[in-house]
Amino acid sequence: MKALAYEGEANVNVVDAPKPSIGGPTEALVRMTLTAVCGSDLHIYHGRIPGCEGCVLGHEFVGVVEEVGSEIRRFKAGDRVVSSFFSSCGHCYYCLRGWFNQCVSKATFGYGKHFGDLGGGQAEYVVVPLADHTLEPIPHDLGDEQAIFVGDILATGFFAAERAEIKPGDTVAVIGAGPVGLMSIMSAQLFGPARVFAIDMVDSRLELAQGLGAVPINAGQTPAVDAVKAATGGFGVDRSIEAVGDLAAIASAIECVRGGGTISTVGVPNHASGDFPYLQMWSKSLTFRSGWCNVQAYMRPLLDLIAAGRLQPDAIISHRMKLEEGKEAYRIFDAREATKIVLTP
Ligand SMILES: [Zn+2]
Ligand SMILES: [Zn+2]
Residue 241 alpha carbon to ligand 1 centre in Å: 18
- Pick out the chain residues at pLDDT < 50: none
User: Rounded to whole angstroms, how far apart are CA atoms 58 and 211?
Assistant: 28
User: Which superfamily does 154-290 belong to?
Assistant: NAD(P)-binding Rossmann-like Domain (3.40.50.720)
User: Rounded to whole angstroms, how far apart are CA atoms 327 and 345?
Assistant: 14
In this predicted structure, what is the pLDDT of residue 270? 85
Residue 226 alpha carbon to ligand 1 centre in Å: 31
3-state helix, strand, coil in the chain (%, to 5): 30, 25, 40
Q: Which ligand is nearest to the CA of 97?
A: 2
- Protein residues within 5 Å, CB atom, of ion ligand 1: 38, 40, 60, 152
Q: For the chain, where do the domains classified as CATH 3.40.50.720 start and end?
A: 154-290
> What burial letters (b/e) apply to 128-148, b meaning 16+ CB within 10 Å?
bbbbbbbbbbbeeebebbbbb
Any idea of the CA torsion for 95, 267, 167, 102, to the nearest 10 degrees?
A: 10
- Protein residues within 5 Å, CB atom, of ion ligand 2: 88-89, 92, 95, 103
What is the CATH code for 2-152+294-344?
Answer: 3.90.180.10
Q: For the chain, where do the domains classified as CATH 3.90.180.10 start and end?
A: 2-152+294-344
User: Which residues, other chains included, contact 201 with Cβ-Cβ below 8 Å and sequence gap of 6+?
Assistant: 218, 219, 220
Burial class (CB in 10 A: 0-12, 13-18, 19+), 1: middle
Per-residue pLDDT of 45-86, as tens digits, reads 999 999 999 999 999 999 999 999 999 999 999 999 999 999
Residue 294 alpha carbon to ligand 1 centre in Å: 13
Longest dimension (CA), the chain: 62
- What pTM value is reported for the model? 0.96
Cross-strand partners of 37: 341
SS3 151: helix
